[in-house]
């Protein structure tokens, strides 16, 4: 049962504050943030285990990673392991800080970050350097330099233990099931099912208020959602957005499919945008509707209806 009313005093002891919320016995959510005009942080989930804490995704900004460290301090337990759902910076950006604090922590992820560092992230870094040279805004310049530094962290962002296939695994003494999806959101997306609590950690295979298509193959992503639905979970934690019940995930999956179908058809862009908002209305907070419209419009123009050469080749990769 998802605990929607959280007693933070039971999680963070003494005067130490933290933003963790209990979503199931032994599983805590540190919410990410996705708002206009600021690079996002993905959700982080902390699982307690016999040998320490397991962190699923570590956010992007230092403030977010510090919330994870504060939680570990409050629990008086070490971070024994990190699982990264994929290589996007808003999910691996806290790795260097957490690994510096807990050098023995094992990091589980696919090897897809290696190609991303040579391709997508290298291109992104070049864009940031050009942007930094052109900006006169000190605050914007500081954010850009932080992003460049994050990319330059290199191997500290990547795994110590490569996830190359799906199957059961014992991490820090806790039994989990890791699943690997190929060429969906990225070349290698890891999602986790905890059989003890029937909670599924989806990473960016599920995001709100809209799917994020920058590095994705939409058709393969759609197939991945069907595999998530086959899992016997009660609750799913998305990469961005609030935890959802399985019946709510069914709404998300249908809305996702309808969006791809609309994009492939001849309807006007606004029709596809309205369809996403209508289909996913029960999942999108009212304050995020405008942002969702902007995102869907952007992805329709730049990815779904006019895919780049990189997206086309990505979708045909073996």
pLDDT of residue 311: 87
How remote is the C-alpha of 2 from its chain's centroid?
20
CA gap 58, 72 in Å, rounded = 13
Please report which helix (H) or strand (E) contains residue 225, including its range: helix 218-230
- Is residue 20 a contact partner of residue 12, using CB atoms and an 8 Å limit? yes
Other C-beta atoms within 10 Å of 41: how many? 26
**Residue-wise pLDDT tens for the chain (318 aa)?**
233 223 333 344 433 445 799 999 999 999 998 766 788 999 999 999 999 999 999 999 999 999 999 999 999 999 999 999 999 999 999 999 999 999 999 999 999 999 999 999 999 999 999 999 998 888 888 999 999 999 999 999 999 999 999 999 999 999 999 999 999 999 999 999 999 999 999 999 999 999 999 999 999 999 999 999 999 999 999 999 999 999 999 999 999 999 999 999 999 999 999 999 999 999 999 999 999 999 999 999 999 999 888 888 899 888
Class of domain 8-315: alpha beta
CA distance 56 to 74: 18
Tell me the C-alpha distance between 46 and 33, whole Å.
17
Coil, helix or strand at residue 252? helix
- Measured CA to CA, the distance from residue 71 to residue 22 in angstroms comes to 12
- Residue (of 180, 177, 173) closest to 198 by Cα position: 177
For the chain, the domains span 8-315
Question: Cα separations (Å) of 279 from 1, 241, 248, 283?
Answer: 26, 16, 11, 9
Task: Say if residues 12 and 135 touch (Cβ distance below 8 Å).
Answer: no
Name the nearest CA neighbour of 17 among 70, 68, 77: 70
> Residues 196, 158: contact at Cβ < 8 Å?
no
Contact 149, 166 (CB under 8 A): no
Q: Is the peptide bond before 252 cis (omega within 30 degrees of 0)?
A: no
């Amino acid at each position: 049962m998802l605990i929607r009313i959280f007693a933070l005093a039971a999680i963070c002891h003494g005067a130490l504050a933290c933003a963790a919320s209990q979503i199931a016995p032994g599983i805590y959510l540190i919410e990410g943030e996705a708002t206009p005009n600021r690079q996002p942080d993905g959700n982080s989930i902390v699982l307690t285990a016999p040998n320490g804490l397991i962190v699923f995704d570590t956010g992007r900004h230092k403030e977010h990673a510090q919330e994870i460290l504060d939680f570990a301090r409050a629990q008086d337990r070490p971070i024994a392991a990190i699982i990264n759902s994929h290589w996007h910076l808003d999910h691996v950006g806290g790795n260097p800080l957490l690994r510096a604090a807990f050098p023995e922590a094992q990091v589980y992820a696919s090897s897809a970050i290696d190609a991303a560092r040579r391709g997508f992230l290298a291109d992104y870094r070049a864009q940031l350097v050009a942007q930094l040279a052109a900006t006169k805004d000190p605050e914007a310049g500081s954010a850009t330099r932080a992003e460049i530094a994050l990319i330059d962290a290199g191997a500290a962002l990547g795994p110590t233990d490569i996830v190359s296939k799906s199957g059961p695994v014992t991490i820090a003494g806790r039994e989990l099931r890791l699943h690997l999806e190929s060429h969906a959101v990225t070349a290698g997306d890891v999602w986790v099912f905890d059989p003890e609590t029937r909670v599924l950690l989806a990473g960016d295979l599920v995001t709100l208020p809209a799917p994020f298509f920058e590095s994705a193959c939409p058709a393969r992503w759609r197939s991945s959602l069907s595999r998530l639905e086959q899992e016997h979970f009660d609750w799913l934690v998305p990469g961005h957005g609030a935890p959802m019940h399985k019946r709510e995930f069914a709404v998300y999956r249908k809305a996702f499919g309808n969006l791809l179908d609309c994009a492939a058809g001849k309807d006007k862009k606004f029709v596809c945008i309205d369809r996403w908002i209508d289909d996913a209305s029960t999942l999108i907070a009212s304050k995020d509707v405008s942002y969702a419209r902007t995102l869907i419009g952007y992805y329709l123009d730049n990815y779904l209806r006019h895919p780049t050469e990189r997206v086309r080749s990505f979708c045909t990769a073996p």
